[in-house]
Structures are given as C-alpha cells and as structure tokens.
Amino acid sequence: MIQDLFADYIAVLIAAILGILLVGGALMGNYILAPRQASRAKSLTYECGMLPIGRSRTQVHFRYYLFAILFLIFDIEAVFLFPWAVVFLDIGKAAFYEMLFFMLILGFGLLYAWKKGVLSWR
C-alpha cells in the first residue's frame, strides 16, 4: 500500500521536474537562438508609446482585499466539503445536518456581505 502510494507520487515529482525542464528548455533555446541587443528604449516598460510616468508600485483598491477574504472563507469551506462528500453517507444523517448547519452559517455570512454591498464591486 505504502509502496503503491510512493509509486504514485513519484510521478508527481517527475512531472514537476519535467515541467520545470520544459519551460527552462524553451527559455534556454530562446537564449541560444535569439539575437540580443540591449538598448535603453527597449528596456523601458510599455505605456502607450509615451515614456512611462513613475513606477507602477501603486496601491491596490480595497475591494480586491474584501474578495480575497471572502475567497478564503469559502475555499476553506470547500476543503471541508471534499472529505465530507465522500464519507457522509457512511456516518449517517447527523453528518449531513452538521454540514448543513455549517453551510447555513457561511450562507448567512454571504447574505450579510451581500446586504453590505461587498459583492457588487463598488
């Protein structure tokens, strides 16, 4: 069993290494084949043909942050749902009602966010 699991996840490791080699190989091929002639104009960032004004390390609007928090909540719910979805029938009705209660609490949170206007991208 442990051996099987080991054999399975060796493939994941190999895939990760091969993926890195694939991208790295393409970049290496480009490094060998492509011409290189640096100039100041080429190494400027694109800004509609004008000279770029200032750096672009600006602040990001607050609403992105709110959606990130909402995402965290519901993604963690999804993580809880995955094991539950496979075994809840073996445990019985209590497992279903517990998860229903959990989902209702989070659903109530979603309604609260909705009412506060968080979901409407203002």
Which residue's structure tokens are 């928090």? 69
Q: Is 19 left (phi over 0), alpha (psi -120 to 50) or beta?
A: alpha
Identify residues 25-64 at the interface with other proteins (CB under 8 A).
26-27, 29-31, 33-37, 40, 42-47, 52, 55-61, 64
Report, in Å, the least distance between residue 40 CB and other proteins. 8
Q: Is 109 in the site for other proteins (CB under 8 A)?
A: no
How many residues in the shown chain lie near other proteins by CB under 8 A?
69
For the chain, helix (H) and strand (E) counts, in that order, are: 3, 0
Angle at 80 between CA 75 and CA 85, to 5 degrees: 115
- Under the binding rule (CB under 8 A), the answer on residue 81 touching other proteins is yes
Each residue of 70-90: b (16+ CB within 10 Å) or e? eeeeeeebeeeeeeeeeebee
Residue ranges binding other proteins (CB under 8 A) = 6-8, 10-12, 14-16, 18-20, 22-24, 26-27, 29-31, 33-37, 40, 42-47, 52, 55-61, 64, 67-68, 70-71, 74-75, 78, 81-82, 85-90, 92-93, 96, 99-100, 103, 107, 110, 114, 119-122
